Amino acid sequence: MADTAHPLSFKSIFHEIRQEFGSPDRGFLRTAWKMGTAPGATLREVFRGDGEEFTPPVRYFLLVFTLYGLIYVSTGAIGIIAADTSRHMAELLNQAHAAHGDAIRISAAEIAKANPLTYYLQYPLVFEIVVTILLWAASWPALARMGLSGTERLGATMYLYGTFNLLQIPLVVFVFLGQSRTLDVVLSILFMAYLAWATQGLATAPNRLAFLRGIGWYLILQLISGIVIGAPLAKTIYDLNAQPAHPVPATASTASSSSAP
């Protein structure tokens, strides 16, 4: 018996979108809501095998990345953040050189070559996957001691990092208001608090130590990221600082005073 044909149409595409994002079973919106309001309890439900109505972790991660990329990459917001970061770092380095009387001046363009956010603009999905792997590696002290396997920790990482990226979308307004530095501080505090909250919720019984483990999870992530992602940037800064200082060109007044008897 031949299979019934289902021709592609706008109606079928709309139906697929509605099923993916809003259906009661495996609904994206339900998953996002539960991960935003009770992340620890939701993850425990998934680990028990009772979360069939939730979007699977890989699909959830990719759907959130699509929405996040649509806002931050397509609108140019991530480019503004990258440019602001490079310019800020160049200003700090030049102020340090000036304080020591050095003639070296570093441009924002030179910093941008090694700025990790520059690679985000070129390979956004690869960058997000790298961050997810780092977050998963950093979760070992916090979650393995709670009895979670490596697979469960990876699933938790994709759900938590995906939800955090989802929470960032409304905050893009900070970028267009010229408050990229403020956004960076706000996101750091939010992510640390979210990981601590989720880790505490994963504990089978009320446990204040679980909250501290969540904070430790975030701090270890920053340490690993600083080594893995920050190493190229640090090397570039070191190489630029190691360049021989170029003498400052003499001005007309300086030249005339030096030629005077």
DSSP at 12: H
256: pLDDT strictly greater than 60? no
Q: DSSP code of 169?
A: G
Q: Any idea what DSSP says for residue 253?
A: H
Q: Residue 105 in contact with residue 111, Cβ under 8 Å?
A: no
Whole-number average pLDDT of the chain: 80
Q: Which residues contact 220 (CB under 8 A, 6 or more apart)?
A: 138, 141, 142
Domain residue limits, the chain: 24-242
What is the 8-class DSSP label of residue 25?
T
Q: For residue 2, what pLDDT band results from cuts at 50, 70 and 90?
A: very low
With 80 as the cut, is the pLDDT of residue 18 above it? no
Which conformational region is residue 147 in: left (phi greater than 0), alpha (psi within -120 to 50 degrees), or beta? left
Nearest to 64 by CA among 124, 152, 139, 145: 124
Report helix, strand or coil for 5.
coil
Mean pLDDT is lowest, of 50-54, 78-82, 112-116, for 112-116
Q: Strand, coil or helix: what is 217?
A: helix
Predicted model pTM: 0.77
Two tokens, residue 212: 């501290």
Do 78 and 70 form a contact (C-beta atoms < 8 A)?
Answer: no
Q: Where are the alpha helices (DSSP H) in 38-115?
A: 39-47, 57-72, 77-99, 108-112
